[in-house]
Every structure is written in C-alpha cells, then in structure tokens.
Amino acid sequence: MVDRTQDFTSGLLEQIKGFSRDVQAVEVGTVLEVGDGIARVTGLPNVRAQELVEFSNGTLGVAFNLEEDNVGIIILGEYIDINEGDEVRATGRINSVPVGPELVGRVVNVLGEPLDGKGPINASGGIYAVERIAPGVMERQNVFRPVQTGYRVVDALIPIGRGQRELIIGDRGTGKTALCLDTIINQKNNRPGDELICIYVAIGKRAAEIRRVVATLEEYGAMSHTIVVAASASDPAAMQYLAPYAGCAIGEYFMENGKDALVIYDDLSKHAWAYRQVSLLLRRPPGREAYPGDVFYLHSRLLERAAQLSKERGGGSLTALPIIETLLGDIAAYVPTNVISITDGQIFLEGDLFYSGQRPALNVGISVSRVGGDAQTKAMKKIAGPLKVDLAQFRALAAFAQFGSGLDKDTQARLDRGMRLTELMKQPQFQPEALHKQVAIIFAGTRGHLDHVPVSRVKEWEAGFLRFLETQYPDYPNKLYEKLTFENVEEILTTAVKDFNATWN
C-alpha cells in the first residue's frame, strides 16, 4: 500500500514539474447554415478577412464576408460532410501558399498541395499570402527585355516584354491556350542566364483538358521550367476564385528573388463567373450582369501585381498573360472591356481567320502591345518596321483590289509580297521558333527574296532555307546573339539567301 502511494506521489510530482502556465486560446465558432460551397458561422468575432478556418472534419475555408453577427465562409473542399452546429476553429493564418523552386515541374492545387502523385513538396521559400499588395510606382522600372513567344507575327508586330500584362482574347477554339503553351515551350530556346519560369493557372477547365496540357508540356520537355496550378470545373467555386491569386503569389516569389517569371491565367472569364457565384451565394449586392460591384477590382488587383522590379528591388519580373473568352467576337462585353482597360495591350484571335487556315489567327488590326516595343531586341525591331508597313499596305490594297480589275504593276507587286508575308506568318502548333530563325525568315520576306517564289511553295522555301542556313552558316546564331543587332548578321543573311536562291528551284 505504501509503495503504491509513493508511486502515485512521485508521478504527481513529475506532472507538477512539467506543468506549464501557457494557455493557448482558440476561437471556436458554430456553423449556422451550409450549402453550395459556402457556410455562415457565428462565434468568430476576431476572425480576419482572408483568414483560414478549419471545420471539425478537417476541411478548410476562407473568411470572405465579415458581418456584424456572423461570418461568410467559402469552403475549400467538400461541404457535404459539414453540418449545421459543427465547430469551426480560426487558425490565425491568412490564406497562403507555399513557394520555392521545389514547385517547378509540379502540378498543385490552390493550397499548394501536389496533384501529380509525385510525393510531398518541401517548399524552401516559405509561404506567401495569396492576396498581396502590388509593387509601388517607385519599386518598378520600364519594361526592357522581351518574352519570346516563338511566333513571328507576335514577336515582330505585337511584342511582349518581361513585366508586361498582355491580354489574349478570342472566341472558344481560336487557339488562345495553344499560343500560351507554345510560349511556355519556346522558353527552352532561351540562352543561359535568360531563363523564364512559367506558371500555368487552369481556372474552371475540365480535368481532361488540364491533363492534356500537362501531357503536352511533358512531351515537349517544358515541365522542367513550369508550374501548373489547377482548379478544375469539378472543384468548388471558391477554389476557382482563388486559383489565379495563388499562381500569382508563386510567381512573385521568383520575381522578388531577382528571377523572371511568366504567369498565364486560363481563363479570367471563368474566374469572374466563380466570383459571381460565391458573391451571390453570400448575398452580396449584384450589379451589371449579376456581377458584384467590385468585379473590376477583382482583376485589377491581380494584374497589377505583374511588374518589372527596379534594380534596387533585385530586377526580377513577373509577366502576366490573362486569357478572356468572348462570345461571337464581342470584345465590348462587360468583363472583356474591364480587362482590356487594365492590361498593356491585347492579342485578338479571330474565328474567321482561324477557320480560313491562318494560324495563329491573329487580327493584326485590333491587336496592340503598348509597351512591348521597348523590349524588342535591336535585330527584331530593325526588321519588324518594314514588315508592319508591308502588311498594312497589303491589307489596304487587298480591300481596294476587290472593287477594281486593272491594277498597275507596283500595286500588284505589293499585293503579291503581302500574300507571301502573310504565308510566312503562319506557323503550326507546338513548333515555336527561336529568335535567330525568326530574324532570318522575316528578313528574307521583307527584302523581296521570296518575290519569285509561288505562294503555294512559300512554306517549302522557308523550310529549305532554314536547313541551308543551319548547315552552311552554323556560326550565324552565335553571331546574332553576340550583340543582338541586325547589322552584326546582315551580311551573312544577305549572302546566305542569295546562295540558297541560286540552288533552289
């Protein structure tokens, strides 16, 4: 009996020694109602906007509506197992995502959790809040370096700079996603020290489509510099709403560490729909087309986070390529006009051009890049000037020629050259082109070296010339990249195209 008492006493003393006065206070609320991916909770008076909360079954949510007597929560997962009266705990953490180089090559969800079955991600960059303030005016500098898309028509006529926001807009099935994927694939052609990390954000797309995108990037060896953030159509509207902000936060990590990143939002139309859905469910006042009144701010605060940082901030950049899907080419709809006014230009892809065989189906007339011209290499800027003039004259003369029969020789020659240049601007999907090849082909077209080639054989001539240039003038690429000026390679290209034309038939 004495032994048992001593054991009890000694055990009690040990517990007293290990006793701590530290008390961890946890705010616990109660679910008032739940359904359609949202919950109303009471008992969380100190919860903050965008704070993560945890339901009793482990599902996470984000505090979205802060009202006087309850909190509107958007649920990041299944809501079927959440019931009225369940406990909800405030975590004290703002909605955030893990960041770091370990995410490159992976497919993740809005919370940074892996979806590709390749194991956990131990991100070394810490965590970044999903909603962050955009860099200020004095923290930025002018755009001065290009993002090479690999498309001649884009890189020459509507150039995109690192740190720019360029909208890609068009009807369904006109090649918007294809253009972005080719841009990602083309980054393999970047020279050492000029790398670009790409983040592809899939918003509301079918899971099969996202899988095809990942498979395409893997097939062409582009996943080695790409992160995919996926919120499929089967995911809750809350996940689709948060996806672009999560992708942007991941890109900001690279930008703030002096690197260059490109983030593609595919697409912001579905993002606006998801935001409208959660806003209506939480009874926010609807406005035009039932969108809430702050739908402009929804996209402006996202796209303003793209920037070319100043040297004092490390000189990194984040380029944004938002995609907007239009209906029957209506770019004057509510969301498209909002995003057009926010971005630094737009690439308009047209259904009629697409179905006529023009790929990419880019309408040069209403596509524009407001700041990208400052980022073009000197070589591309030199040869892009004549190309713009020739194509503009061709469009004007082609419209005029429909009403006239007898054309003088000069007009006919310009029409013929315009047809050949238009043919040169066509490129097949998943075959983006390095800068040195673009310069060579555009030079040949604008200087009249294809004027003798039948339009039907332009693509044949182009393929033959590039092979000839590669075998007979192997030092040409290095010569161009040495100074990135056209004068450095003009003599080589002039000689090469003359030699090739002498043998081509």
DSSP notation for 426-460? ---TT----HHHHHHHHHHHHTTTTTTS-GGGHHH
Indicate the DSSP class of residue 94: E
pLDDT of residue 246: 98
Q: pLDDT value at position 393? A: 84
Comparing C-alpha atoms, which of 461, 455, 445 is closest to residue 388?
Answer: 445
pLDDT of residue 401: 73
List CB contacts of 26: < 8 A, sequence separation 6 or more. Answer: 89, 90
Backbone phi, psi, residue 373, to 5° = -60, -30
Q: How would you write the pLDDT of the chain (505 residues) with one tens digit per residue? A: 556 666 777 777 777 777 666 667 788 999 999 999 999 999 999 999 999 999 999 999 999 999 999 999 999 998 999 999 999 999 999 999 999 999 999 999 999 999 999 999 999 999 999 999 999 999 999 999 999 999 999 999 999 999 999 999 999 999 999 999 999 999 998 888 899 999 999 999 999 999 999 999 999 999 999 999 999 999 999 999 999 999 999 999 999 999 999 999 999 999 999 999 999 999 999 999 999 999 999 999 999 999 999 999 999 999 999 999 999 889 999 999 999 999 999 999 999 989 988 899 999 888 999 987 888 999 999 999 899 888 888 888 877 776 666 678 888 888 889 999 999 999 999 999 999 999 999 999 999 999 999 999 999 999 999 999 999 999 999 999 998 899 999 999 999 999 999 998 7
Q: Which domains occur in the chain, in start order? A: 28-94 (2.40.30.20), 98-376 (3.40.50.300), 380-503 (1.20.150.20)
Instruction: Give the whole-angstrom CA distance, residue 163 versus residue 140.
Output: 9
Question: Model-level pTM?
Answer: 0.92
In the prediction, which pLDDT does 404 show?
60
pLDDT at site 143:
95
Q: Tally helices (H) and strands (E) across the chain.
A: 15, 19
What are the structure tokens assigned to 73, written together? 């929560």
According to DSSP, the residues that pair with 260 across neighbouring strands are 317
Exposed (0-12), middle (13-18) or buried (19+): which is 65, by Cβ within 10 Å? middle
Buried b or exposed e, range 345-358, using 16+ CB within 10 angstroms: bbbbbbbebbeeeb
In eight-state DSSP terms, residue 140 is: B
Angstrom distance (rounded) from CA 195 to CA 216: 20
At residue 22, the pLDDT reads: 66
Q: What is the DSSP string of 345-363?
A: EEEEE-HHHHHTT-SS-B-
Q: What residues are annotated to the active site?
A: 370
Give the per-residue pLDDT at 216: 97
